[in-house]
């Protein structure tokens, strides 16, 4: 799958697949990823592309011949961390003048001139759709020239590339099912950095899931900026006006979920991220139907106020969002729900902030990812609205949101005490080598004595205690 195979058709009536051996080139690659799970998944694709060219990966950048930083542009803080790291790598070039440093991903297109010319931090800049060109770009950089490819694609899904599982625990893995995003949320840069949304052939997705299961993996997470809008009609890019006939033969996200769930009953299936405007009941019924599809839904809310949601261009109201929550509670009563929320979006009033807190009180999320609004270049909000909520107000509101979520997380975790949980073991606990940890279907971490169990095992654990976010028990 990763591009190093040839077909020998010399035998009549059959094609024989022959593996072309990869010849090591003696060079080492160091990859560092920031941001969302999609970035980490992309780094595995990059590692695969360069592995086919003879590169091996290293965990120590001092040993590397090539360093790539896979970047995130969602928040300003992430960009600042990337700059700090690039400055460190620039210093490393003083002791190793042949070292090549490159930037991948979402910061590439927006900041290519600063990185290459003004600050002279990197040798290569590559956007999310141009990773196949990396071997050629490295060759250019080795001659002392700067190399750039930030072109976005309407077709690229990397469906034929088998990712190299970096830092893998051998139990859980990501599978990308879509790339790009068609939602133009006012605060978000993803449509500008990752391009139009396109879906991946479902057959390649189920094959990747089957291959992972055969290799011993027991959980896959299907990834997309908006998994609910996945739609395969024989081509990646969604059509503006799909016919009724085409829709009948199309694969929807609910159908894809079922296909992956049917790979094996011992393969757990998760997914991220859902969008409230596109999450329909067929997905929920599919989750309820298959025990190995986890009862956990990440459903970003961003704000509990309808006016702010409209300004954010989210495509739903407070009422619609709560309708989706009600549907989840009705169809999958045991489901855990997590969220993203932004404090201090443009013009947000104190009353509107209170609406967010009241929505949180209504839902009582299991987990949350909470941020203060950070204005991003090129977005609708940056072009249209004034970032007029003072920083100290944003911080105070965020602190209130975090405090409330910690309370709700502790409440939800405590509900798991006294119950038996089916836990997929992921590894040894950081606190004790005599303890294992894993997660239940609701994505809560469970810790229990090691005994004779090992990563990849499913274990029934009776929980008798908990911390604010972790369940503690014993295998039964």
DSSP string, 173-185: EEEE-EES-----
Note whether 31 and 47 are within 8 A (CB): yes
Residue with tokens 């290519």: 112
pLDDT number for residue 115: 78
407 and 432 co-located in one domain: no
Question: How far apart (Å, rounded) are the C-alpha atoms in residues 379 and 190?
Answer: 9
Residue 91 belongs to a domain with what CATH number?
A: 3.40.50.2300
128 and 232 co-located in one domain: no
pLDDT number for residue 39: 87
**b/e map of 202-227 (b: 16 or more CB within 10 Å)?**
bebbbebbeebbeeebbbbbbbbbbb
373 and 410 co-located in one domain: yes
Question: How far apart (Å, rounded) are the C-alpha atoms in residues 327 and 452?
Answer: 41
What range does the domain containing 429 cover? 420-475
Q: Please name the residues in contact with 452: beta carbons below 8 A apart, sequence gap of 6 or more.
A: none
pLDDT number for residue 169: 93
165 within domain boundaries? no
**b/e map of 316-332 (b: 16 or more CB within 10 Å)?**
bbbeebbebbebbeeeb
Largest CA distance in the chain: 75
Write out the chain's pLDDT in tens, 476 residues.
Answer: 344 433 333 333 333 333 455 667 789 999 999 888 888 999 999 999 999 999 999 999 999 999 999 988 777 777 788 888 999 998 888 889 999 999 998 888 777 777 777 668 899 999 999 999 999 999 999 999 999 999 888 889 999 999 999 888 999 999 999 999 999 999 998 888 888 899 999 999 999 999 999 999 999 999 999 999 999 988 766 656 677 777 778 999 999 999 999 999 999 999 999 999 999 999 999 999 999 999 999 999 999 999 999 999 999 999 999 999 999 999 999 999 999 999 999 999 999 999 999 999 999 999 999 999 999 988 999 999 999 999 999 999 999 999 999 999 999 999 999 999 999 999 999 999 999 999 999 999 999 999 999 999 999 999 999 999 999 999 99
Residue 433 belongs to a domain with what CATH number?
A: 2.40.50
14 within domain boundaries? no
| Number of domains the chain is built from | 3
pLDDT number for residue 14: 36
132 and 180 co-located in one domain: no
What are the helix (H) ranges across 119-218?
134-142, 190-194, 202-214
221 and 284 co-located in one domain: yes
104 and 132 co-located in one domain: yes
């Amino acid at each position: 799958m990763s591009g190093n195979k040839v077909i020998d058709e010399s035998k009549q009536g059959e094609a024989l697949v022959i593996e072309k051996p990869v010849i090591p080139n003696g060079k080492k690659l160091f990859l560092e990823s920031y941001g969302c799970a999609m970035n980490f998944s992309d780094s595995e694709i990059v590692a695969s592309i360069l592995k086919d060219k003879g590169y091996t990966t290293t965990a120590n950048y001092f040993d590397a011949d090539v360093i790539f930083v896979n970047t995130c542009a969602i928040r300003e803080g992430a960009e600042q961390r990337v700059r700090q790291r690039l400055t460190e790598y620039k210093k490393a070039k003083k002791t190793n003048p042949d070292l090549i440093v490159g930037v991948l991903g979402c910061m590439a297109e927006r900041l290519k001139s600063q990185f290459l010319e003004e600050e002279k931090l990197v040798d290569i800049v590559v956007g999310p759709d141009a990773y196949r060109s990396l071997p050629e770009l490295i060759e250019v950089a080795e001659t002392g020239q700067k190399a750039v490819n930030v072109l976005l694609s309407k077709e690229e899904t990397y469906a034929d590339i088998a990712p190299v599982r970096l830092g893998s625990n051998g139990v859980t893995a990501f599978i990308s099912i879509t790339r790009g995003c068609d939602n133009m949320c006012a605060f978000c840069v993803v449509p500008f950095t990752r391009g139009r949304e396109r879906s991946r052939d479902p057959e390649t997705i189920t094959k990747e899931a089957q291959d992972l299961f055969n290799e011993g993996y027991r959980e896959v997470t299907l990834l997309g900026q908006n998994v609910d809008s996945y739609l395969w009609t024989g081509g990646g890019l969604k059509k503006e006006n799909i016919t009724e006939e085409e829709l009948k033969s199309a694969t929807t996200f609910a159908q894809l979920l079922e296909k992956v769930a049917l790979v094996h009953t011992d393969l757990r299936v998760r997914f991220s991220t859902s969008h409230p405007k596109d999450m329909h009941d067929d997905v929920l019924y599919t989750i309820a139907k298959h025990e190995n599809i986890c009862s956990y839904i990440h459903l970003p809310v961003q704000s509990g106020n309808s006016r702010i949601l409209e300004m954010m261009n989210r495509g739903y109201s407070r009422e619609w969002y709560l309708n989706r929550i009600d549907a989840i509670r009705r169809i999958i009563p045991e489901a855990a729900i997590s969220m993203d929320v932004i404090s201090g979006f443009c013009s947000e009033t104190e009353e509107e902030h209170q609406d967010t807190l009241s929505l949180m009180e209504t839902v009582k999320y299991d987990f949350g990812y909470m941020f203060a609004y950070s204005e991003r270049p090129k977005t609708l909000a940056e072009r249209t609205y004034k970032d007029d909520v003072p920083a100290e107000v944003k911080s105070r509101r965020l602190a209130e949101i975090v405090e409330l979520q910690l309370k709700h997380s502790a409440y939800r975790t405590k509900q798991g005490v006294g119950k038996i949980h089916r836990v997929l073991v992921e590894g040894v606990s950081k606190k004790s080598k005599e303890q294992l940890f894993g997660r239940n279907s609701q994505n809560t971490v469970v810790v229990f004595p090691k005994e004779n169990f090992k990563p990849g095992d499913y274990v029934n654990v009776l929980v008798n205690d908990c911390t604010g976010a972790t369940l503690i028990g014993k295998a039964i």
